């Protein structure tokens, strides 16, 4: 059994491509934009409000 790796996996080739200097700047900028867009979207989401509980009797005065 030989240890010839042959062709690198597609993920490894993508990572090697992404860490070379010109592409790394674009990957970094793309990551920043993605984080900004996701945090902006999460900030615009509205929580689901439950209906207010109905009051059947007035509350007792506090002393």
Distance CA 35, CA 38 (A): 5
pLDDT band at residue 12 under the 50/70/90 scheme: very high
User: Considering the entire predicted model, what is its pTM?
Assistant: 0.58
Distance CA 46, CA 18 (A): 36
Distance CA 18, CA 24 (A): 5
pLDDT band at residue 25 under the 50/70/90 scheme: very high
Integer-rounded Cα radius of gyration of the chain: 28
Main-chain dihedrals φ then ψ at residue 53, nearest 5 degrees: -65, 140
């Amino acid at each position: 059994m030989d240890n010839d790796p042959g062709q690198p996996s597609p993920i490894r080739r993508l990572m090697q491509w992404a860490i070379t200097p010109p592409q790394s700047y674009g990957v970094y900028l793309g990551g920043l934009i993605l984080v900004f867009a996701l945090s902006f979207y999460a900030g615009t989401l509205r929580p689901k409000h439950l209906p207010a509980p109905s009051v059947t009797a007035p509350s007792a005065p506090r002393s």
